Structure 1
């Protein structure tokens, strides 16, 4: 059974991510955990003092409990799927720490969340919470853009330099997302040279072996700007999902991890699956 963690801040963007995930995994037996971590809400409360900490905490806890009940009612009405089970969780913790705990304690397969939260600043591609989870939680993250209307992921773009020895568990996740929709996966290699090294060839063959249920094609392209090449291929191939790997020497690190939040250049208007490429049982 797939274990899916869905952090929520109760925003419309979070609801949209929930709707997307319920539809994407509708064919799979899945346990959904809807999590709200509220420690920041306590310490950012303008009325907080040392003498009223317990009062403020109780107020936040009551608010969160009510909103989680609303979330569960929304989910059960939207998707009364017999293959799915739903659980709501509240934690007096930071989102990153609680998400990491959940990944370890519940063996989470994927975290699904909106790209932006309740602040919804149009200048920010990923909200601070989303970016922190992408950076620091050792689990694949599927980020859903605000207002994105669910579309079956028929065409998936996977930009990579093919230097990474991929982890089987995360490639298996990609395979199982793609298989029900008979998706085509385009592996995009952008380089000044279109000749692969032996290591790159071996990594591509391993990738093909793991995602063998799906049509996969290697596309080599000479381009001086990786970001522009990705944009061009997303549009050219009518891409429904972008997949990248967060690892040293990866495209993802170059494009995202070294960029300040307010200067991110990769404005992706489609679901974005980030695989962490770390060993997990």
Structure 2
């Protein structure tokens, strides 16, 4: 049974991510954990003093629990799927710390969340909360853009330099997402040369071996800039999901580094699965 954690700030973006996840995993037995952390809300309260701390904490906790109850009612009405179970978690903690805690406690397979939250700044690719989870939580994250209308993932883009010894658990997740929809997976290799080293050939064979239920296409693009190559490929080809790996010197890190400088001007308007090639 798949364990899915869904941090929510109760925004429309978060609700859309819930809707997307319900559809994407409709054929699977899943347990969804809806998480809201409110430590920041407490300390941002203008009336907070040592004397009022306990009262404010209780008030905010009650409000969060009520909103989580509404979320459970909403998702049960939206997707009354007998394969799915839902739980709510309210926590006076930071988002990253509590997410890490829940990942360990429930052996979470995947985190699903919106790309942006309540602030919804159109100038950035990821909101601050989503970016924190992507960078610091050791679990795959599926980020769903605001207003993205669910489409079965028939075409998945997976940019890679084929230098990373991928984890079987992460690749298996990709396989299990793609298999019910018979999705094609395009491995985009951005290089001036189409020749692969022995290491790259071994990594390619490993990917094909694990993701064996799907058609995999190796596509080589000669381009001076990785981020631009990915963006152009998405524009030119029908693509329903972008998959990248977060590890040192990966394409994903390059995107984050560039985005930090350019304030995330690159727009990814499709669901974005980030696999964490880190120890769990």
Q: Could you tell me the TM-score, scaled by structure 1's length?
A: 0.97
1:153-232 matches, within 5 Å, as: 153-232=153-232
Gaps of 5+ in 2: none
Residue 47 of structure 1 pairs with residue 54 of structure 2:
no
Alignment: residue pair count: 280
Residue 119 of structure 1 corresponds to: 119
Residue 56 of structure 1 corresponds to: 56
Residue 69 of structure 2 corresponds to: 69
Gaps of 5+ in 1: none
Instruction: Specify the SS of the correspondent of 1:260.
Output: helix
Instruction: Specify the SS of the correspondent of 2:157.
Output: strand
In structure 1, distance between residues paired with 2:101 and 2:258: 25
Q: Where has structure 1 moved over 4 Å in runs of 4 or more?
A: none
Measured after TM superposition, the shift of residue 4 of structure 1 is: 0.1
In structure 2, distance between residues paired with 1:213 and 1:99: 31
Residue 18 of structure 2 corresponds to: 18
| Worse-matched range after superposition: 142-151 or 257-266 | 257-266
Residue 105 of structure 1 pairs with residue 105 of structure 2:
yes
Contact kept in structure 1, 2:259 and 2:266, CA below 8 Å: no
In structure 1, distance between residues paired with 2:196 and 2:157: 19
The alpha-carbon distance between structure 1 residues 41 and 134, as it changes in their structure 2 partners (threshold 3 A), is same
Instruction: Specify the SS of the correspondent of 2:121.
Output: coil
Contact kept in structure 2, 1:167 and 1:279, CA below 8 Å: no
Residue 139 of structure 2 corresponds to: 139
Measured after TM superposition, the shift of residue 261 of structure 1 is: 7.8
Q: Could you tell me the TM-score, scaled by structure 2's length?
A: 0.98
In structure 2, distance between residues paired with 1:235 and 1:123: 19
Residue 84 of structure 1 pairs with residue 75 of structure 2:
no
In structure 2, distance between residues paired with 1:125 and 1:236: 20
